[in-house]
Amino acid sequence: METILITGANKGIGLELVRGFAESGRHVIACCRVPDEASDLQAVAAASDHVEVHEVHVSDGDSVAALARAIGDRPIDVLINNAGMAGPDFQHQGLADMDYDGWAETFTVNTMAPLRVLQAFRANLAKGANARAVTVTSQMGAIGLDMPVMFAYCSSKGAVNKVMRLAAPELKGDGIAVALVHPGFVKTDMGGPGAEITPKASATGLIAVIDALTLDDSPCFKTWDGNDHVW
Ligand SMILES: NC(=O)c1ccc[n+]([C@@H]2O[C@H](COP(=O)([O-])OP(=O)(O)OC[C@H]3O[C@@H](n4cnc5c(N)ncnc54)[C@H](OP(=O)(O)O)[C@@H]3O)[C@@H](O)[C@H]2O)c1
């Protein structure tokens, strides 16, 4: 049985990834900041023998290390760096007005934390079968697609794309494929009610994309519905 570790698993796309992977017979290590307050995730875990809930603050090295100790040397087949934030208020992350502290926090969560989590679970992935290190990025991070808004968010996602590309050649030697995935414009707390697709549709598409990934694809940037995305 495959084991999937997912961050930001308490709501939105992360929660639907947990539900979808568990329903398709995978074991899920579902991680979030405050398990005691994650009632939807706890309900999914209570209804399944294949979901375990763990606490992690992805931007805190000690917290990530504690999670790694809790997981031990178990093989992990798929790591999904899903936790992410939109950054400062829309009007405070642009050319005219930038919240620099908020930009730094956005980089910590969206860019640096995915590498920190990957480092912590690299050895577990190396023991996995067809191991995949997946990061939920955004089309807004693509260098080749300019959407001139939300400078903090866009740059943090563009940077994580680059970081994961840089990690890919060495990880190939461990048998770990690297993928960046754009989940679509999704009706979550981040995407808002006016977004285009439901979290369930996004997660269903992403699971199919992740299931089809092999080492030969690494590194790749895919959309939730299976297309290649411009970098
Ligand atoms: N929704 C979209 O249209 C869209 C489009 C492109 C990309 N994405 C990406 O998809 C991923 C999931 O987003 P979503 O749409 O499902 O949003 P969401 O419903 O707001 O969920 C965001 C998740 O990230 C966690 N998170 C937020 N800030 C964090 C922080 N500072 N430290 C640790 N965890 C934090 C949240 O945990 P808490 O509940 O504890 O805050 C939550 O689990 C993100 O990486 C996002 O950038 C979303």
CATH of the domain at 50: 3.40.50.720
Q: What pLDDT, on a 0 to 100 scale, did the predictor assign at position 46?
A: 98
Question: Is it the case that residue 128 has pLDDT exceeding 90?
Answer: yes
The verdict on residue 228 lying in a domain is: no
Write out the two tokens for 10. 């308490």
Find, among 87, 85, 76, the residue nearest to 54 by Cα.
Answer: 76
Q: What pLDDT, on a 0 to 100 scale, did the predictor assign at position 146?
A: 85
Residue 69 backbone phi and psi in degrees, to 5 = -65, -40
Strands across the sheet containing 176-182: 51-55, 27-32, 3-6, 78-81, 131-136, 176-182, 220-223
Residue 147: which pLDDT band, with cuts at 50, 70 and 90? Answer: confident
- pLDDT tens digits, residue range 195-231? 999 999 999 999 999 999 999 999 999 999 999 999 9
**Averaged pLDDT for residues 150-157:** 98
Domain limits at 144? 3-223
Distance CA 17, CA 98 (A): 33
The verdict on residue 231 lying in a domain is: no
The verdict on residue 125 lying in a domain is: yes
Distance CA 90, CA 152 (A): 9
The verdict on residue 229 lying in a domain is: no
Nearest C-alpha to atom 31 of ligand 1 is from which residue?
109
Ligand 1 binding pocket, CB closer than 6 Å? 8, 10-14, 32-33, 57-59, 82-85, 109, 136, 138, 183, 185-186, 188-191, 195
Distance CA 157, CA 159 (A): 5
The verdict on residue 230 lying in a domain is: no
Give the list of residues 6+ apart from residue 62 with CB closer than 8 angstroms, or none.
none
> C-alpha 160: how far from its chain's center?
11
Q: What pLDDT, on a 0 to 100 scale, did the predictor assign at position 192?
A: 97
Number of domains in the chain: 1
The verdict on residue 164 lying in a domain is: yes
**Averaged pLDDT for residues 161-167:** 98
- pLDDT tens digits, residue range 56-115? 999 999 999 999 999 999 999 999 999 999 999 999 999 999 999 999 999 999 999 999
Distance CA 15, CA 125 (A): 22
The verdict on residue 8 lying in a domain is: yes
Distance in Å, CA 130 to ligand 1 centroid: 26
